[in-house]
Structure 1
Amino acid sequence: MNIFVCTAYLLSQPKLTKVKHQNFCYTLLSLKNLLDNIPNIKIKAFAKGKVAKQVFDLYKQKNGMVIESSIYIKKMKTLDNDKKKSKVIFIKIHKIYNLSI
Structure 2
Amino acid sequence: MNIFICTAYLLSQPKLTKVKHQNFCYTLLSVKNFLHHIPNIKIQAFAKGKVAKQVFDLYKQKNSVVIESSIYIKKMKTINNHKNKSKLIFIKIHKIYNLSI
TM-score in terms of structure 1 length:
0.92
Query: In the TM superposition, what are the counterparts of 1:6-17 in structure 2 within 5 Å?
Result: 6-17=6-17
Runs of 5+ consecutive residues of structure 2 not aligned to the other structure:
none
Equivalenced residues, count = 100
Query: In the TM superposition, what are the counterparts of 1:14-93 in structure 2 within 5 Å?
Result: 14-78=14-78, 80-83=79-82, 84-93=84-93
1:16-58 deviations in Å (ceiling 9; x for gaps): 0000000000000000123332210001000000000000000
Runs of 5+ consecutive residues of structure 1 not aligned to the other structure:
none
Separation of aligned partners in 2, 1:94 and 1:34: 24
Aligned CA-pair RMSD: 1.1
Separation of aligned partners in 2, 1:65 and 1:3: 16
The ranges of structure 1 where at least 4 consecutive aligned residues each deviate by more than 6 angstroms after the TM superposition are none
